[in-house]
Chains A and B, each alone.
Chain A
Amino acid sequence: MNWSKYSAPLAFYPLAGRMIPWFGTVAALAIAVGLYIGLLVAPTDFQQGEAYRIIFVHVPAAWMSMFLYVVMAVWAAVGLGLNARLSFMMTQAIAPTGAMFTFLALLTGAMWGKPTWGAWWVWDARLTSELILLFQYAGVMLLRTSIDDQRRADRASGVCALVGVVNIPIIYFSVQWWNTLHQGASVSMTAAPKMATIMLTGMLLMTFGFWMYSLAVILSRARCVILERESLQLWSKPSSVPEVAGVR
């Protein structure tokens, strides 16, 4: 099967439409089960009490905020390197979702910090670098909207996204490099997790759910971007309008 044909936006449009319901359903199921485990099944933490349960949203959101930035930067690099329009459309589609998860991570972190640390916000390295990530998402999005020429907007915001990647390792390693109030990682690829299995299951399910949610939302946003940008091409071939718009 020739996958490269889907790098054409008009071929990608119906494919994305077919995938969205699947990703959406899986996301809803995983988030529902994850929340059930996190809020009802998982035992109460002996140190932090019930307040710890917000990590079932906080940690997956923080992971997704970093992961989506890297994915966005990779699409930007592919777009700059191969000069592919669809890559830049994906970059544009990912940014708002990434910014949303960054904001969610900061918000839930503040809600957790108040009962646990006694403060909504502290200026430690992890929190500050995550806040900077939010500014970077905003910068990438605003740079794109400020430039009228589509091609230049794509490429300039792509370079901007790539430059900002330096912040991702800083966020990730901030709890090791600096002596922060934010606790170190409880889950790692190399060592056994420092939490109960049922808690870990809930958190991983939530992460999976957020991931699938991101795919569904990003693909449907990409479809909107395609419709918006390819409108001229669509209008020049009127027969394709109902065909493209009709396919789910």
Chain B
Amino acid sequence: MSQPGLWETLRGIIWRDLLLAIRRRSDVAISVLFLVIVASLFPLGVGPEPAVLRTIAAGVLWVAALLACLLSLGRVFTADYLDGVLEQMLLIAQPLPVLVAGKVFAHWVVSGLPVVLLSPLLGLQFGLEGEALGMLVLSLLLGTPTLSMIGSIGAALVLGVRGSGLLVALLVLPLYVPVLIFGAGAVTSSMAGIGGEANLSLLGACLVLSVFFAPWATASALRIALE
């Protein structure tokens, strides 16, 4: 029997994770609902003044997206860790970072993409329109994969550790800060009329760097967790 190639293995892992997510739809629904509820709390707390809402929109929506991503990080590896699939994954004769990248990509499709798709609706709630709304969607599209990539490092480090849910927040949130600054900055500067392209470029740079380095760090964290 011939060994499956790298691409076949990668496709198999992505497909399996997506299939599992489709069969457990409520998990996905929870993090999306969480995003909507958190975003709706702010107008209630700050007050429904349209001018105020428009100024805080970018920051609030980005922070909400960040928290939604954080909330779903536990799902990347925990189930596979508990039922032993992860151990088998470590034994596959393909480079582990590539397999990790596949799992993280599946996680982004399940938890990041819904955020991106939902963001125009939430942006409208906050009175964003036109170019700023498009910039919000673009910045989230470039930023959320980075969040998943960086988050996977934290998720792998705290695998099976007590109090892991809170610990992963402490480890990962400081590293999320640049993405938050550039992402919210893109929307704010496009609203100010200077265009958000510079911030989008920086977000793209963050994405490229994290795609290159994060799977590697995550793979070594997984090996440490399972040795």
Instruction: Tell me whether A152 is interfacial, beta carbon within 8 Å.
Output: yes
Q: Are A142 and B225 in contact (CB under 8 A)?
A: no
Q: Are A159 and B220 in contact (CB under 8 A)?
A: yes
Instruction: Tell me whether A220 is interfacial, beta carbon within 8 Å.
Output: no
User: Nearest B residue to A123 by beta-carbon distance?
Assistant: B181
Residue from B157, B161, B221, B225 having most chain A Cβ neighbours under 10 A: B157
* Cβ contact of A156, chosen from B162, B170, B177, B225, cutoff 8 A: B225
| Number of A interface residues in the complex (CB < 8 A) | 23
A151 CA / B223 CA spacing, docked (Å): 12
* Cβ contact of B221, chosen from A139, A142, A156, cutoff 8 A: A156
Q: By DSSP majority rule, is chain B's interface helix, strand, loop, or mixed?
A: helix
Q: Are B167 and A142 in contact (CB under 8 A)?
A: yes
Cβ distance A146 to chain B, nearest Cβ, rounded Å: 5
Contact partners of B50 in chain A: CB under 8 A? none
Instruction: Tell me whether A245 is interfacial, beta carbon within 8 Å.
Output: no
Instruction: Tell me whether A41 is interfacial, beta carbon within 8 Å.
Output: no
Contact partners of B225 in chain A: CB under 8 A? 152, 156
Chain A residues 165 to 180 lying within 8 A of chain B, measured CB to CB, are: 166-167, 170
Instruction: Tell me whether B171 is interfacial, beta carbon within 8 Å.
Output: yes
Contact partners of A138 in chain B: CB under 8 A? 170
Instruction: Tell me whether B114 is interfacial, beta carbon within 8 Å.
Output: no
Q: A160-B157, A163-B175 are in contact. Are A143 and B217 (CB under 8 A)?
A: no
Instruction: Tell me whether A17 is interfacial, beta carbon within 8 Å.
Output: no
Q: Are A146 and B158 in contact (CB under 8 A)?
A: yes
Q: Are B167 and A143 in contact (CB under 8 A)?
A: yes
Q: Are A143 and B177 in contact (CB under 8 A)?
A: no
Contact partners of A155 in chain B: CB under 8 A? 224
Instruction: Tell me whether A128 is interfacial, beta carbon within 8 Å.
Output: yes
A156 CA / B225 CA spacing, docked (Å): 8
Q: A138-B170, A159-B224 are in contact. Are A128 and B177 (CB under 8 A)?
A: yes
* Cβ contact of A159, chosen from B170, B178, B221, cutoff 8 A: B221
Q: Are A135 and B157 in contact (CB under 8 A)?
A: no
A166 CA / B213 CA spacing, docked (Å): 11
Q: Are A143 and B171 in contact (CB under 8 A)?
A: yes
Q: Are A143 and B175 in contact (CB under 8 A)?
A: no
Q: By DSSP majority rule, is chain A's interface helix, strand, loop, or mixed?
A: helix
B166-188: CB near A (< 8 Å → 1, else 0) gives: 01001101110110000000000
Chain A residues 110 to 157 lying within 8 A of chain B, measured CB to CB, are: 128, 132, 135-136, 138-139, 142-143, 146-147, 151-152, 155-156
A49 CA / B50 CA spacing, docked (Å): 45
A143 CA / B178 CA spacing, docked (Å): 22
Instruction: Tell me whether A14 is interfacial, beta carbon within 8 Å.
Output: no
Cβ distance B180 to chain A, nearest Cβ, rounded Å: 11
B122-164: CB near A (< 8 Å → 1, else 0) gives: 0000000000000000000000000000000100011001111
Contact partners of B224 in chain A: CB under 8 A? 152, 155-156, 159
Q: Are B221 and A164 in contact (CB under 8 A)?
A: no
User: Nearest B residue to A80 by beta-carbon distance?
Assistant: B220
Q: Are A139 and B170 in contact (CB under 8 A)?
A: yes
Q: Are B178 and A164 in contact (CB under 8 A)?
A: no
A235 CA / B224 CA spacing, docked (Å): 29
Q: A156-B224, A163-B217 are in contact. Are A143 and B158 (CB under 8 A)?
A: yes
A-B contact pairs, 23 of them (CB 8 A): A135-B174, A136-B174, A139-B170, A142-B170, A143-B157, A146-B161, A146-B162, A146-B167, A151-B227, A152-B224, A152-B227, A155-B224, A156-B221, A159-B153, A159-B220, A159-B221, A159-B224, A160-B157, A160-B171, A162-B217, A164-B175, A167-B175, A170-B178
Extra inter-chain contacts (14) besides given A151-B227, A159-B217, CB under 8 Å: A135-B170, A135-B173, A135-B174, A138-B170, A142-B167, A142-B170, A152-B225, A152-B227, A156-B221, A159-B153, A159-B157, A159-B224, A162-B217, A163-B217
A residues adjacent to B (C-beta < 8 A): 80, 128, 132, 135-136, 138-139, 142-143, 146-147, 151-152, 155-156, 159-160, 162-164, 166-167, 170
B residues adjacent to A (C-beta < 8 A): 153, 157-158, 161-164, 167, 170-171, 173-175, 177-178, 217, 220-221, 224-225, 227
Sorted from nearest, which 4 A-B pairs have the closest CB atoms?
Answer: A135-B174, A155-B224, A132-B174, A139-B171
